Amino acid sequence: MREYDIVVIGAATAGSFFAKLMAERGFNVLVIDALPEREIGKRLTVFHLDTVYFEKTGIPRLADGDSEYITSFEYTMCESAYGHYPRKTLYPFTVFNLEKFNKHLHLWSRNFGVNYEFNTEFQEFIFDEEKKIVGVKIKNEEGIEEDISCRLVVDCSGIKGTVRCALPDDYGIENTPLSPRDMFYVILRYVKLANPIKDKPVTSTAYPYYKTWVAPSDDPEGAIFGIGANLSYEYAERVYKDFENTIHLPEIVGEPRIEKGTTPYRHAIYSLVSDGFLCIGDSAAITKPYSGEGVTASWNLCMIAADIVANAMKDGKYPTKNALWPINVKYSRTQGANFAEIMATLIGAVDATKEENEYEFKKSIVFDEAVMTQMNYAFANKMTIRQMLYLVNQIIDARANGSIRKSTISNIIKSLLKAQALKRHYKAFPKNSKKFAKWCNKADELWKDAGSMADLIEKSIQE
Ligand SMILES: Cc1cc2nc3c(=O)[nH]c(=O)nc-3n(C[C@H](O)[C@H](O)[C@H](O)COP(=O)(O)OP(=O)(O)OC[C@H]3O[C@@H](n4cnc5c(N)ncnc54)[C@H](O)[C@@H]3O)c2cc1C
């Protein structure tokens, strides 16, 4: 039987980066992917990454002249529901072709000793007599099955979570697929501009009221008109119509080319680890709650996990659930707590009318340039006391002059309080697994109380 220290399932952004971190720490790592190499990442053409992450992760920076590079911008824009109050976020993004970028990651991580096998599918786990994971059964492109022995299996298999969902019920990991209500439905329209010289976007402009954006595409004469919505593609199309009818979009020629996909939109699975097992990426539902972007959010988890895994596997040790548990603690108390706070806050903000959204932009309530820039850098709500007092003042004013309904203000305040309760709870994630069941029960209660975007949208449709 072939033997590796670590087998990673999924050779996309999460799997390749984590594999590199472990190979660099001296482990023998195999990454398998069900797809041929040229197909990985092909589901999407144009992709954005926070530029600062090239430095944070050490991944060689993409620049003009690299085949995968499309463009980059130093800031992004955010617009109100009627498009009258542009706000700038000073946070750079790099735009590139995802399929080529995955190949770039494979080349880079191979230099550190990572082994890749493509057209190779995970079939099932292999357990020892104590029912602990000790390997995986895989099937290659010729349909030949093979048992591989390893001490750690890392699930980076994407939104379907096929690997974690193959775990037995008593393994301590959530093993059900994400529900369709826990996803963000993204539709990208690649359009050809009628007047590219005048209309070609130089940065990405988001319209949070509709969750739409206009951004550069790989076509120098084109653009992307994108939308992401909770609930369903049908609902996304309905909101897109309203967007098109309200905002003056650049004139286009011909029919747009459409790309569609889903990204997780819910809290991460509560425990990411068990005996000989770790879950990262979309499979663990690690995405930024304010944009649905998952790559850099997962890279943060990879960086948290790498040294803990290395320590748990030092000198040939088997990585037990207890030895890997600090990954749960560190993740939940940092990015997990920040994402919980932001997601619960946003749930309260969706109920505003277009007019209210317009006023919120005008008065920089919620959509404040400094707050948004800070949030992008920290992946967290970093409002200072001064900014908080300003916000409260503006809300009181808005209520007094009737610009925002009482129910909208009450929703915002309630969601802020629920968000704080969730953040406190994540910050108190148990140091060991003994109190975990109790922590999960309380977390379930708090999330139920916070509600979900899909439920709110459905309610508003029915009304
Ligand atoms: C339309 C759209 C646009 C997006 N744009 C952005 C963006 O601009 N920036 C951003 O950060 N995020 C974006 N996202 C989110 C982002 O795509 C994901 O968060 C990210 O790609 C997840 O990476 P991953 O490595 O976890 O999983 P994936 O990229 O889904 O990779 C999983 C891999 O596992 C393999 N696999 C699955 N099952 C098996 C199996 N049984 N055996 C072997 N291999 C298997 C798959 O073939 C696949 O290659 C977007 C999402 C959508 C839908």
Same domain, 91 and 48: yes
- pLDDT tens column, 137-175: 999 999 999 999 999 999 999 999 999 999 999 999 999
Looking at the structure, do residues 104 and 29 belong to the same domain, yes or no? yes
CATH of the domain at 176: 3.50.50.60
Together in a domain, 320 and 363: no
Write down which residue in 264, 294, 319 finishes a domain.
Answer: 264
Q: Do 223 and 323 fall within a single domain?
A: no
Q: What is the pLDDT of residue 175?
A: 98
Output the residue whose Cα is nearest ligand 1's atom 13. 293
> How much is the pLDDT for 40?
93
Q: What is the pLDDT of residue 63?
A: 84
- In a shared domain, residues 10 and 155: yes
Q: Is the CB of 40 under 6 A from ligand 1?
A: yes
What tokens does 261 get? 């996909």
247 and 375 co-located in one domain: no
Determine the structural domain holding residue 239 and report its residue range. Answer: 182-264
Closest CA to 261 of 222, 240, 289, 292: 292
Pair 15, 134 in one domain: yes
pLDDT confidence of residue 30: 98
pLDDT at 394: 84
Quick one: 20 and 152 in the same domain? yes
d(CA 162, CA 122): 9
- Strand order, beta sheet including 277-279: 115-117, 29-32, 6-9, 152-155, 277-279, 273-274
The C-alpha atoms of residue 12 and residue 32 are separated, in whole angstroms, by 10
Q: Which of 239, 264, 289 is the last residue of a domain?
A: 264
Question: CB of 89 closer than 6 A to ligand 1?
Answer: no
Q: What percent of the chain has pLDDT over 90?
A: 80
Q: Which of 281, 316, 336 is a domain's end point? A: 336
Name the closest-CA residue to atom 30, ligand 1: 158
**H or E element in which residue 449 lies:** helix 436-450
Question: Which pLDDT score, from 0 to 100, does residue 413 have?
Answer: 86
Shared domain check, 55 and 116: yes
Q: Which residues of the chain have pLDDT under 50?
A: none
Count Cβ atoms within 10 A of the Cβ of residue 360 and give its class: 0-12 exposed, 13-18 middle, 19 or more buried: buried
Q: What are phi and psi of 408, to 5 degrees?
A: -65, -45
332 and 407 part of one domain: no
DSSP one-letter string for 223-244: EEEEEEEES-HHHHHHHHHHHH
Is the distance from CB of 320 to CB of 410 less than 8 angstroms?
no
Number of domains present in the structure of the chain: 3
Same domain, yes or no: 114 and 130: yes
Cα 46 to middle of ligand 1, angstroms: 13
Closest residue by Cα to atom 53, ligand 1, is 261
Q: Whose CA is nearest to atom 18 of ligand 1?
A: 294
Q: Are residues 73 and 20 in the same domain?
A: yes
Q: Looking at ligand 1, which atom is closest to the CA of residue 41?
A: 29
CB 147 within 8 A of CB 126: yes
Cβ-contact 279, 178 below 8 angstroms: no
263 CA to centre of ligand 1 in angstroms: 8
The predicted pLDDT at position 429 comes to 98
Nearest CA to ligand 1 atom 41: 122
